[in-house]
Amino acid sequence: MYGNIKYNMYNKMLKNYYKPTPTKWRKLGDALLAVSVTITGFAMYNNIQWVALTALITGVIGKFLTNFFKEDGIKTRKQGRSRKNSTRVS
């Protein structure tokens, strides 16, 4: 039973990954990635490898995780179309 709940949670998260990301989370992810790239470049220039690697990993993971947030109230393409109003001709 615990495994089924865990599977449903992961399945829901994966479905949210492909839905539109809210603007504030997208901006946060972009800013995090930009700052991490700047810190990585500075650290590589000064030969501080552990800082460069930490900043790079943090920025990439942060940008990736922002895709798991979804915007409420927006219909996806599949939800917005009904069979009665379909434009497809049979």
- Structural domain includes residue 31: yes
Q: Is 59 exposed, middle or buried (0-12, 13-18, 19+ CB in 10 A)?
A: buried
For residue 85, is it within any domain? Answer: no
Cβ–Cβ < 8 Å for 32, 59 = yes
SS3 at position 20: coil
Query: In this structure, is the dihedral angle defined by the CA atoms of residues 21, 23, 25 and 31, taken in order, positive or negative?
Result: positive
Q: How many domains does the chain have?
A: 1
**Grouped pLDDT means (10 residues each) for the chain, 90 residues:** 64 74 85 92 94 92 81 57 54
User: What is the predicted pLDDT for the residue at 45?
Assistant: 94
pTM for this prediction: 0.58
Is residue 89 a part of any domain in this protein? no
User: Which structural domain range is residue 76 located in?
Assistant: 2-80
Q: Per the domain annotation, does 90 fall within a domain?
A: no
pLDDT for residue 47: 94
What pLDDT, on the 0 to 100 scale, is given for residue 16? 72
Note whether residue 14 is domain-resident: yes
pLDDT of residue 81: 53
The pLDDT of residue 38 is 94
